[in-house]
Amino acid sequence: MALLASAALVLVAPAQAQDATWAGPGNSWNVGGNWSSGTVPTGTATFSGSTPTSIAFFSSASIDTMLFTAGAPLYSFNIGAAHSLVIGGAGIVNNS
């Protein structure tokens, strides 16, 4: 019985947030290939100079932090009316 309870606790553990740096070459936030980790971030999304700098959302997203590093260029984000971006955690950190 204890083994079954332990297995259940592991199964309900929350997933760890995924961090990634914007890498392009596409402009879609929602495509893993545009991020350094190969997956769309849910933890920290870092922007440091990769292009394109105009990023579109084709579905809603949720992250902990948007981090702009020193020297990062101006980025623009196009979030359509049917989608949203929820930023929790540290929010937006602008070091540029």
How confident is the model over 38-84, as pLDDT tens digits? 999 999 999 999 999 999 999 999 999 999 999 999 999 999 899 99
Q: pTM score > 0.85 for this model?
A: no
Q: Is a pLDDT exceeding 60 seen at residue 9?
A: no
Tell me how far apart the alpha carbons of residues 52 and 71 are, in angstroms, rounded to a whole number. 15
* pLDDT-based confidence at residue 16 (cuts at 50, 70, 90): confident
Token pair for 15: 């997933």
Residue in the structure block whose two tokens are 């979030």: 79
Residue 40 in contact with residue 30, Cβ under 8 Å?
Answer: yes
Which has the higher per-residue pLDDT, 16 or 5? 16
8 vs 96 pLDDT, higher one: 96
Contacts for 87 with CB less than 8 Å, ≥ 6 apart:
62, 63, 64, 65, 66
